[in-house]
Amino acid sequence: MKFLDNPPRFLFFTGKGGVGKTSVACASAIALARAGKKVLLVSTDPASNVGQVFGLRIGNTVTAVPAVPRLSTLEIDPQQAADAYRERIVGPVRGLLPDAEIASITEQLSGSCTTEIASFNEFTALLTDTDGVTGGFDHVLFDTAPTGHTIRLLQLPGSWTEFLDDGKGDASCLGPLAGLGKQRSIYADAVSALADPDRTRLVLVTRAQRAPIAEVARTRTELADIGLAHQYVVVNGLLPAPDGRDALDTAIHRRERALLDALPVNLRTLPVDEIELKPTNMVGIAALDSLFTTTPVAEPAAPTTEPGAVTDTASLSTLVDELAADDHGLIMFMGKGGVGKTTLAATVAIALADRGHQVHLTTTDPAAHLTDTLAGAVANLVVSRIDPAEASEQYRTRVLKSKGAVLDEQGRAALTEDLKSPCTEEVAVFQAFSRVIHESRRKFVVVDTAPTGHTLLLLDATGSYHREIARQMGENANFTTPLMRLQDPDETKIVLVTLAETTPRLEAAGLQADLERAGIDPWAWVVNNSLAAAAPSSPLLRCRAAAEATELRAVTADHATRCAVVPMLAAEPVGVEALRALTREGCGDSATE
C-alpha cells in the first residue's frame, strides 16, 4: 500500500461515513505493529466502533490489544471528555458563587457545544503531547468521524473571550468556550503538526460510488486550503474482475471501474491505493490481517441464507403505505454513514408526494447530496438543506441585530468574535432543525440526518433546550418543545437504516438504545443493499450474502418492530424514476419468498 510506505508519525484517516475508514485504520495499525513499530490507534468518532472491530472494551484510556503486540487503542469518549471539561470550568468557582449560579453554568455546559469542544481538546492534546500519552509511540493513527467534523474544528477562531472572568458569564451557548484563549498556542501547534508532511499523512478513504468520491474530492480541496496538503487516496471494497456469469457482479464491477476512470481531476494527482472487497466483514484480527491481501474465494458450502433468516419483514412500499395513512408528520432517517439514508429518505418522500401529500424533504447532513440523488423535480415535493454555514450566518445576523444593538463598539467586536465559534453552528443548526419540526404539524417532513455521531449531538442540543425551557416555564406551564414532538409517536416516525453487516447493525442498535433513553421509540428499521435479497450467484457475493443471515435475524428478532429489506441493485438508484422503482411491489420483499 502506497499510503503505508515510509509513514510519518501521524496518519489521519478521513472520508464519508460507511466507506471503511475504521477497517482501513485498524488494518494499518496492525500492519505497522507487526512491522515492529509501537502504534497507538485513536478514534475521534463520537460513534466509534473500534472496540467492536477488535472485540475489546475501549474507553478514554490507552488499552493494549492483547492479540497484537505493540498495538494500543484509545477512544476519545465525548461524554467523559465533556464531564472533565465542565469540572475544569466549574471547579475553580464552586463555593465562590451562589449555588443557583453554579447550577446555571453547569446546565449551560450540558449541550453538544461542550461535547465538541471537549473532544477537540483531547484530540489536539494527543497531537501536541510528545512527553505524555503519545510520547512512547512510533505512530499515532487517527480514525476520525465522518468528513467535516474535525476539519471544521480545526478552523477555530484566533481569539476567544474569557467566559468566567470575575465569575460572570453570559448564559448562552458560548459558555463552553471558557478559557479557550489560553489554548491558542496548543491549537496552533496541532494545526502545524497536521500541515507538516514529515509528521502527518492524510488518508482519504472512499468507495467506488458517486457520493463518497464527490465527498473526498471536496475534502481534498478543503484540507489543502487550510494547509493540509499531504494526502493519499484509498479506494476500499472494490469488486475484483468478474468471470461474467453473475449479472449483478458484472454490473457492479463495470460501474465501479467507470467511476474510477472518471475520478475528479483534483484526486488524480494523488497516490491511489485500491483494496478489494473481501468475502467476510472486517471484524476480528484475522479478518483485518486479510484486508491488504488478495486471496481466492471458495464457493460457500451453505445456502445464501438460512430458511427464515428474513421472516417478518415487509417491502419498502408496505412501510410507505402505513406512513401515508396520516396526512402529516415528521419522518427521520437515521443510522451510520454510508448505509443509504439519503436514498431511502428521497424514495419515501417521492412516494408520499406521488400519493398526493405535500412533502418537504430536507437534510441535516453537511455532506448530503439530495439534489444529485433526486436529479429531477416531483409534484408536491419541496427539497431543502439545513446548510450549517448558511444557518450560522443567519443566526449571527439575528444575534448582532438584537443583542448587539445595545452594545458599544468594543462589546459588538467581542460578540462578533464569540459568534465565530463552533458553538454558533451547533445552535444555528438546532434552530433550523426546530423550524423543520414545527413545519411537520401541517405536512410531511422527511429528514435525511447526518451520520450517527452528529445526529446524537443534535439530539443532545434538543434535550438541553427542552430542559432549559422546562426550567424557565415551571412545572405547571403548558408548552411543547422539539424534544416533546420527537417523543410523540403520532407526530414523529424514526426509521433506522442499516446494512446486514455487524458494525452498522450494532451502531443502529446503539442509536436505538440512546433514543429510547431519551423517550424516543424508533418506528421501523430498513436493511438496505441486501445481497441476500438480491440472490447473487458469484462465489464472493454469495459468501457475503450468507454472512448476512445472522445480522438479518438479529434485526428482526432483537431490535425492530417493523423491518423492510431492500436488495442490492445493479445500478445506483439515482433519479426520480429509479427511486420510484424501490417502492414498487416486489422490491425489497423477503428474500425467502
Tell me the pLDDT tens digit for each residue of 245-261.
Answer: 889 999 999 999 999 99
Domain boundaries, the chain: 2-289, 316-390+437-455+479-581
Which class is domain 2-289? alpha beta
The C-alpha cell at 82 is 465533556
- State the DSSP H helix or E strand holding residue 301, giving kind and residue range, or none if neither: none
pLDDT tens string 151-173: 554 444 322 223 333 333 343 43
Q: How confident is the model at residue 40 (pLDDT cuts 50, 70, 90)?
A: very high
Dihedral over alpha carbons 107, 108, 111, 115 (to 10 degrees):
-110
Check residue 465 and give its pLDDT. 53
For the cut 50, the answer to whether the pLDDT of residue 27 exceeds it is yes
Q: How confident is the model at residue 456 (pLDDT cuts 50, 70, 90)?
A: low
Check residue 376 and give its pLDDT. 80
Check residue 464 and give its pLDDT. 61
Q: What is the three-state SS of 525-557?
A: EEEEEEHHHHCCCCHHHHHHHHHHHHHHHHHHH
- Which amino acids are annotated catalytic? 18, 20-23, 45, 503
CA distances from 348 to 452, 471, 526, 574 (A): 20, 38, 12, 14
Looking up cell 512527553 gives 131
Check residue 70 and give its pLDDT. 96
For the cut 60, the answer to whether the pLDDT of residue 555 exceeds it is yes
Q: What letter represents residue 263's amino acid?
A: L
How much is the mean pLDDT over the chain? 80
Check residue 157 and give its pLDDT. 30
Which strands sit side by side in the sheet containing 231-238, from one edge to the other? 63-64, 71-75, 39-43, 139-143, 10-14, 200-207, 231-238, 272-276
Check residue 170 and give its pLDDT. 43
The rounded distance, in Å, linking the Cα atoms of 126 and 109 is: 23
- Mean pLDDT value of segment 195-223: 89
The rounded distance, in Å, linking the Cα atoms of 288 and 245 is: 29
The rounded distance, in Å, linking the Cα atoms of 312 and 250 is: 31
Lowest mean pLDDT among 193-207, 314-328, 459-473: 459-473
- Mean pLDDT value of segment 562-591: 79
Catalogue the E-assigned strands of 95-249. Answer: 139-143, 200-207, 231-238
The CB density around residue 197, as the number of other CB atoms within 10 Å, is: 12
pLDDT tens string 287-333: 899 999 877 666 655 544 444 454 456 789 999 999 999 989 999 99
For the cut 90, the answer to whether the pLDDT of residue 387 exceeds it is no
Q: Backbone phi, then psi, for 50, in 5-degree steps?
A: -60, -40
Looking up cell 447550577 gives 103
Check residue 353 and give its pLDDT. 96
Classify domain 316-390+437-455+479-581 at the CATH superfamily level: P-loop containing nucleotide triphosphate hydrolases (3.40.50.300)
User: Any idea what the Cα angle at residue 337 is, between residues 523 and 275, rounded to 5°?
Assistant: 140
Judge contact between 134 and 41, C-beta under 8 A: no
pTM of the model: 0.76
How long a stretch of residues is the chain? Answer: 593
Judge contact between 527 and 565, C-beta under 8 A: yes
Check residue 535 and give its pLDDT. 87
pLDDT tens string 113-135: 676 677 777 777 787 776 677 77
Catalogue the E-assigned strands of 454-593. Answer: 492-498, 524-530, 563-567
Catalogue the E-assigned strands of 298-423. Answer: 329-334, 359-363, 381-383
Dihedral over alpha carbons 304, 310, 313, 316 (to 10 degrees):
-30
The rounded distance, in Å, linking the Cα atoms of 585 and 315 is: 7
